[in-house]
Amino acid sequence: MEKLLPVRLLPAFKDYLWGGTKLKESYNKKSDLDIVAESWELSCHKDGQSVIAEGEFCGKTLSEYIDINGFELLGTKAREFDYFPLLIKFIDAKNNLSIQVHPNDEYALSVEGEYGKTEMWYILEADEGAYLYYGFNRSITKDELEKRIRENTILEVLNKVSVKKGDVFFIESGTVHAICAGIVICEIQQNSNTTYRVYDYDRRDKEGNPRQLHIEKAIEVSNLEKAPEISEKAADGVLAECKYFTVKKLEVNGKASELLDKTSFASVIVVDGSGKMSIGRKSFELKKGDSLFVPAQEAELEFEGELEVIISRV
């Protein structure tokens, strides 16, 4: 059936003040924005939707495409979610992002009217000496957290982690965190845009106003225990696996394949190299930065070339 063919996606772009130009320069992103901090590669979120790039449904949002062709395109596991479950981004941090935290489902649904946000990061690029913040370097109390936020000393108790290309971080909701300067990542997350900003280096927005902090909410939802050690990932290509998503990395040096089934759609993101992807008799040329949505079905994706892809499912 025609609707079972993969569709190529165009992203929604965000020009947050900390962003750079690497997504346009190195990941084939076409945008009139001077700064492209984020490209939302797979998104049905109201704050920025992916758009079908070609074919019968060219120009329609991913949400419109799903409405036309039926929710069954998402697979049987999608029935566990009230709406499209994933949001996948490229993020170019030329400068530090704010120190922030995301709530869990229970808190976010009751306070914000949308699900919480558990996410994972795959490091695509990292400048020499690049680092990020991941949780606390020791356990603290709510009182200490509030005091340090208000006195601008929170960086002293954050867990600072050096990063390199290929590193993986699983950021469970409630984990205080920040991507810092000189890092490009692919982020796979719950379909949520709820972020509580804890600390922002006293930066100002385009109008010269301090960027809003969400101190009370952040204190309510933050995990105050010492951050766990970053564990080595399994060698079978699985980067992350939780109740919200499973993420695999497929390195193609010549030929490789990935089996699909009816439990979930697949997102295919090309993070390096070039080649092609085939399903049945249909082939798609692939280059760095490409994003494709593959409807749930019993099939085999076949890859050829020299490339690295991230495959995400629910």
Over residues 13-58, the pLDDT tens digits come to 999 999 999 999 999 999 999 999 999 999 999 999 999 999 999 9
- Return the structure tokens found at 34: 């001077």
pLDDT at residue 211 in the model: 85
**Higher per-residue pLDDT: 1 or 212:** 212
pLDDT at residue 231 in the model: 67
Residue type, 36: V
Give long-range contacts, CB 8 A cutoff, 24+ apart: 26-34.
26/125, 26/184, 26/288, 26/289, 27/90, 27/288, 27/289, 28/287, 28/288, 28/289, 28/290, 29/90, 29/289
- When pLDDT is cut at 50, 70 and 90, the band that residue 204 belongs to is confident
50 vs 40: CA distance, rounded Å: 7
Residues above pLDDT 70, as percent of the chain: 97
- When pLDDT is cut at 50, 70 and 90, the band that residue 235 belongs to is low
pLDDT at residue 83 in the model: 87
The structure tokens 């992807």 sit at: 277
pLDDT at residue 177 in the model: 98
What's the mean pLDDT in 204-221?
90
**Short-list 118, 212, 222, CA closest to 176:** 222
For the cut 60, the answer to whether the pLDDT of residue 306 exceeds it is: yes
Active-site amino acid positions: 197
pLDDT at residue 1 in the model: 44
**Short-list 8, 30, 34, CA closest to 19:** 34
- Reduced to 3 states, what is the DSSP secondary structure of residue 164? coil
Q: Which helix (H) or strand (E) holds 145?
A: helix 142-150
pLDDT at residue 38 in the model: 98
pLDDT at residue 207 in the model: 84
246 vs 288: CA distance, rounded Å: 22
pTM across the whole model: 0.95
Q: What values do phi and psi take at 42, rounded to 5?
A: -135, 105
pLDDT at residue 229 in the model: 85
Q: Which residues pair with 188 in a beta bridge?
A: 88, 120
Contacts of 179 (CB under 8 A, 6+ apart): 91, 93, 96, 97, 121, 132, 185
Concatenated DSSP letters of 63-89: HHHHHHH-GGGG-GGGGGSSS--EEEE
- Say if residue 195 is exposed, middle or buried (CB neighbours under 10 Å; 0-12, 13-18, 19+): middle
Domains of the chain and any CATH numbers: 2-221 (2.60.120.10), 238-313 (2.60.120.10)
Report the 3 state secondary structure along 85-127.
Answer: CEEEEEEEECCCCCEEECCCHHHHHHHCCCCCCCEEEEEEEEC
